[in-house]
Amino acid sequence: MQFNPERFALHRQAKGMSQGAAAKALGVSQGRISKVENGALRPSDQLLIDAAQEFGVQREAFFGEDVERGLPAISFFRKQKTMGMRETRKTEARFSIIRQVVISLAAGLVELADRRVPRIPVSTPGETPASIAQRVRTFFQAAAGPLLGLTRMMESAGIIIVPFVDTHAKFDAVSCASPDGRLDIVAVKPGLAPDRYRFSIAHELGHLVMHTMPSETIEDEANQFAAELLMPAEDIESDLTSITIPHLMELKRKWQVAMSALIYRAKSLGLVSEWKARNAYITMSTYGFRKKEPVELPREEPQLFTTLIVRHLAGGKTFDDIAAQVGLLPTTMAREFAPVLPAGLR
Ligand SMILES: [Zn+2]
């Protein structure tokens, strides 16, 4: 296999390092790193060994075909403005690596799901984000009312949900389909409150179903999709006639969505006035509920990635073998995927 300068740059960026910082850490000139990355210079074996150690990858990770980059265009469109160049590059590079890991581990195993979630472009005549959300509920055979166990439903359609550790504060989740279209990946910041986690994966599901191109409206559309998926207008209407704090706490328990999301939903469905909604937000702030809401909800835990690892282990591989297969050092693999590794490996 050939040394691939693009892969070298990818792993440096995933580490959040500038060329200058990498040069310093590796004890070479910045010019040398620059030449290595634009293909003008074949790096020495020692440089590759040192760089692999520094970037937390196997030396082999610098060899082979290009890693599919990007797409997070869809989910990144807005965030780029607040994240800055270095952080954006780092997040994009790390997501590319996560995606490659998932694809590599899923390859060769039996099909993950019998059927994939439908693709319905938001531009389809007669459809809206809400009507598409209803179609997806039908696809999941969801009963009317609260949508419980969304994680399990998405996983049943072959959507692999993995953690995205150490991401930017502004960043909750990102998603994409694999290049061959065979599987979908959603990466979510670990430790989100369960209601926020559920809304985030519902939002990403909206992108997967409705969007292939970035535009000014996709974020709003994904939010409308998530709102209807989790709180169908027809089913929730009768619950949202009052938005007092005790009632919102009760509804949060029932619908497993944030109290702030319930207020927003009541307002956008025209069930309460703008003024009432604003008052509810103010009351929430007074109690400190805008920062941290009351009512602990049960946490939905993704399992599909764990299952993939377990299948590889059952096939006779060790954790080190698995890390080697995906090009990461075992320590890197353990850090990146800790929340979804089988119990004995965390
Ligand atoms: Zn989005």
Could you report the per-residue pLDDT of 255-276, keeping only the tens digit for each? 999 999 999 999 999 999 999 9
Instruction: Please check whether residue 24 lies inside any domain of the structure.
Output: yes
Distance 8 CA to ligand 1 centre (A): 29
Higher pLDDT, 8 or 174: 8
Distance 214 CA to ligand 1 centre (A): 10
Task: Judge if 171 and 226 occupy the same domain.
Answer: yes
Distance 203 CA to ligand 1 centre (A): 6
Distance 212 CA to ligand 1 centre (A): 12
Q: Give the pLDDT of residue 23.
A: 97
Q: What is the mean pLDDT of residues 314-323?
A: 94
Distance 75 CA to ligand 1 centre (A): 4
The two structure tokens encoding residue 109: 């195993």
Q: Give the pLDDT of residue 30.
A: 96
Distance 162 CA to ligand 1 centre (A): 17
Instruction: Please check whether residue 127 lies inside any domain of the structure.
Output: yes
Instruction: Please check whether residue 235 lies inside any domain of the structure.
Output: no
Q: What is the mean pLDDT of residues 271-300?
A: 96
Distance 216 CA to ligand 1 centre (A): 11
Task: Judge if 25 and 114 occupy the same domain.
Answer: no
Q: Give the pLDDT of residue 116.
A: 85
Task: Judge if 257 and 321 occupy the same domain.
Answer: no
Instruction: Please check whether residue 155 lies inside any domain of the structure.
Output: yes
End-to-end CA distance of the chain: 32
Distance 23 CA to ligand 1 centre (A): 35
Q: Is the pLDDT of residue 81 over 90?
A: no
Q: Is the pLDDT of residue 120 over 80?
A: yes
Task: Judge if 132 and 166 occupy the same domain.
Answer: yes
Q: Is the pLDDT of residue 71 over 70?
A: no
Distance 327 CA to ligand 1 centre (A): 29
Last residue of a domain, one of 36, 66, 96: 66
Q: Give the pLDDT of residue 330.
A: 95
Q: Is the pLDDT of residue 109 over 90?
A: no
- Reported as a pLDDT band with limits 50, 70 and 90, residue 67 is confident
Task: Judge if 321 and 293 occupy the same domain.
Answer: no
Q: What is the mean pLDDT of residues 28-35?
A: 96
Please count the structural domains in the chain: 3
Distance 126 CA to ligand 1 centre (A): 23
Distance 213 CA to ligand 1 centre (A): 12
Distance 103 CA to ligand 1 centre (A): 22
Distance 197 CA to ligand 1 centre (A): 13
Could you report the per-residue pLDDT of 158-189, keeping only the tens digit for each? 899 999 998 877 778 888 887 777 789 999 99
Computed over every residue of the chain, the mean pLDDT equals: 91
Task: Judge if 38 and 90 occupy the same domain.
Answer: no
| Cβ proximity of 297 and 197 under 8 Å | no
Distance 239 CA to ligand 1 centre (A): 28
Distance 28 CA to ligand 1 centre (A): 40
Task: Judge if 9 and 110 occupy the same domain.
Answer: no
Q: Is the pLDDT of residue 320 over 60?
A: yes
pLDDT above 70 covers a percentage of the chain that reads 95
Distance separating alpha carbons of residues 342 and 290, to the nearest angstrom: 35
Q: Give the pLDDT of residue 78.
A: 53
Instruction: Please check whether residue 338 lies inside any domain of the structure.
Output: yes
Q: Is the pLDDT of residue 77 over 50?
A: no
Distance 163 CA to ligand 1 centre (A): 16
Task: Judge if 171 and 130 occupy the same domain.
Answer: yes
- φ, ψ at 298 (rounded to 5°): -65, 145
Higher pLDDT, 321 or 85: 321
Domain CATH code at residue 40: 1.10.260.40
Task: Judge if 147 and 74 occupy the same domain.
Answer: yes
* Residue 158 identity: G
Q: What is the mean pLDDT of residues 49-65?
A: 96
Distance 265 CA to ligand 1 centre (A): 18
Q: Give the pLDDT of residue 88.
A: 81
Task: Judge if 81 and 122 occupy the same domain.
Answer: yes
Instruction: Please check whether residue 221 lies inside any domain of the structure.
Output: yes
Q: Per mean pLDDT, which range of 70-84, 227-241, 304-318 is the poorest?
A: 70-84
Q: Is the pLDDT of residue 141 over 70?
A: yes
Distance 80 CA to ligand 1 centre (A): 12
Distance 331 CA to ligand 1 centre (A): 31
Instruction: Please check whether residue 29 lies inside any domain of the structure.
Output: yes
Task: Judge if 219 and 115 occupy the same domain.
Answer: yes
Higher pLDDT, 158 or 111: 158
Task: Judge if 214 and 137 occupy the same domain.
Answer: yes
| Long-range pairs of 310-319 with CB within 8 A, sequence gap ≥ 24 | 310/342, 311/109, 312/105, 313/342, 319/345
Boundaries of domain holding 44: 1-66
What is the 3-class SS of the chain, one letter each residue? CCECHHHHHHHHHHCCCCHHHHHHHHCCCHHHHHHHHCCCCCCCHHHHHHHHHHHCECHHHHECCCCCCCCCHHHHCCCHHHHCHHHHHHHHHHHHHHHHHHHHHHCCCCCCCCCCCCCCCCCCCCCCHHHHHHHHHHHCCCCCCCCCCHHHHHHHCCEEEEECCCCCCCCCEEEEECCCCCCEEEEECCCCCHHHHHHHHHHHHHHHHHCCCCCCCHHHHHHHHHHHHHCCHHHHHHHCCCCCHHHHHHHHHHHCCCHHHHHHHHHHCCCCCHHHHHHHHHHHHHCCCCCCCCCCCCCCCCCHHHHHHHHHHHCCCCHHHHHHHHCECHHHHHHHHHHHCCHHHC
Distance 176 CA to ligand 1 centre (A): 11
Q: What is the mean pLDDT of residues 5-11?
A: 95
